[in-house]
Amino acid sequence: MKKIVSLLLALMLVLSLAACGSKAETASVPSGVEDGVLTVAMECAYAPYNWSQPDDSNGAVPIANAPGNYANGYDVMMAKKLCEANGWELEVMQLDWDSLVPAVQNGTVDAVIAGQSMTAERMEKVDFAGPYLYATIICLTKADSPLASAKGISELSGTCTSQMGTIWYDTCLPQIAGAQIQTAAESAPAMLMALETGAVDFVCTDMPTGQGALLAYPDMVLLDFAGSGDDFEVSDEDVNIGISIMKGNTVLKEALDSILSTMTADDFNALMAEAIAVQPIGE
């Protein structure tokens, strides 16, 4: 009997330690906003989601690691709403696209708000709050191109590109049978410049980026194949745009989701329209 009691006590002790360890592990992931500041990373070169400008006009905020420059765009506007609702200050950091997820992983920033799709691959590295936008995939070509009259992706052909590390390049372009896929562009501006200079015949991107591009490049046309039956096949994870945070950061995720869950697609689109309206020409 004593042996049985001893075994039971030992088992209870192991379970107790395991439970404590689990709590400690959860508690070891800081929210990042204990200091009242939400540090957000973005490219500041991906209009209308985000861009850099030389002043604070139209509600732009300083870029912490680029003195004298200010960030604005849909991502900044959304970050400001989230901070206001939670009583935080906003700090924006400018980072290259490929540096965004690592910055969240190593704790350099609290979150990335930068037009990222909520893909399963990214979810292996970070957690996501949101979505904070639902994207539509489109193509852009020049107005004088034979492709300008295309009614579906089966009518597209020729050289093309998109931004590296995006579903546009990795998932969408390969669905076009006649596509001659070129090297991925390092950024959205580089992608658009490839089309503008004639380096490629068309590019693939999302609706907000395309709408913003038409302001900067009036000689381009937007090809939206939605509802045609000849469109890109994408999943929800491809078009749901989210906010990436450190794995296990449930406090921050819940704080962000508590606001985003009250917003509708119409709310998101209205805010994006505001961003496009104040986007600097040439961005």
Sheet with 89-94, edge to edge strand ranges: 89-94, 37-42, 111-117, 240-245, 127-134
Question: Looking at the structure, do residues 175 and 220 belong to the same domain, yes or no?
Answer: yes
Is residue 192 assigned to a domain? yes
Angle (nearest 5°) at CA 238 between 124 and 179: 115
Question: Looking at the structure, do residues 82 and 198 belong to the same domain, yes or no?
Answer: no
Quick one: pLDDT at residue 50?
A: 96
Q: Which of 79, 46, 47, 48 is nearest to 62 (CA)?
A: 79
CB-CB contact of 240 with 117 (8 Å): yes
Question: Looking at the structure, do residues 68 and 117 belong to the same domain, yes or no?
Answer: yes
Question: Looking at the structure, do residues 142 and 269 belong to the same domain, yes or no?
Answer: no
Question: Looking at the structure, do residues 166 and 218 belong to the same domain, yes or no?
Answer: yes
Label residue 184 exposed, middle or buried (CB < 10 Å: 0-12, 13-18, 19+). Answer: middle
Residues with Cβ < 8 Å from 59, sequence gap 6 or more?
72, 76, 77, 80
Question: Looking at the structure, do residues 209 and 273 belong to the same domain, yes or no?
Answer: no
Is residue 12 assigned to a domain? no
Question: Looking at the structure, do residues 142 and 218 belong to the same domain, yes or no?
Answer: yes
Query: What's the pTM?
Result: 0.80
- What CATH number is associated with residue 124? 3.40.190.10
Is residue 143 assigned to a domain? yes
Is residue 235 assigned to a domain? no
Is residue 214 assigned to a domain? yes
Quick one: pLDDT at residue 98?
A: 92
Alpha helices in the chain (DSSP H): 2-27, 74-86, 100-105, 120-123, 167, 188-196, 207-216, 236-239, 250-260, 265-278
Distance of CA 5 to the CA centre of its chain: 56
Structural domain containing residue 70: 37-134+240-278
Is residue 115 assigned to a domain? yes
Number of domains making up the chain: 2
Question: Looking at the structure, do residues 49 and 164 belong to the same domain, yes or no?
Answer: no
Question: Looking at the structure, do residues 162 and 218 belong to the same domain, yes or no?
Answer: yes
Quick one: pLDDT at residue 29?
A: 79
Quick one: pLDDT at residue 21?
A: 45
Question: Looking at the structure, do residues 183 and 148 belong to the same domain, yes or no?
Answer: yes
Render each residue's pLDDT in the chain as its tens digit; 283 residues: 433 434 444 444 444 444 444 433 444 678 999 999 999 999 999 999 999 999 999 999 999 999 999 999 999 999 999 999 999 999 999 999 999 999 999 999 999 999 999 999 999 999 999 999 998 999 999 999 999 999 999 999 999 999 999 999 999 999 999 999 999 999 999 999 999 999 999 999 999 999 999 998 999 999 999 999 999 999 988 889 999 999 999 999 999 999 999 999 999 999 999 999 999 875 5
Is residue 32 assigned to a domain? no
Is residue 99 assigned to a domain? yes
Question: Looking at the structure, do residues 129 and 244 belong to the same domain, yes or no?
Answer: yes
Question: Looking at the structure, do residues 117 and 167 belong to the same domain, yes or no?
Answer: no
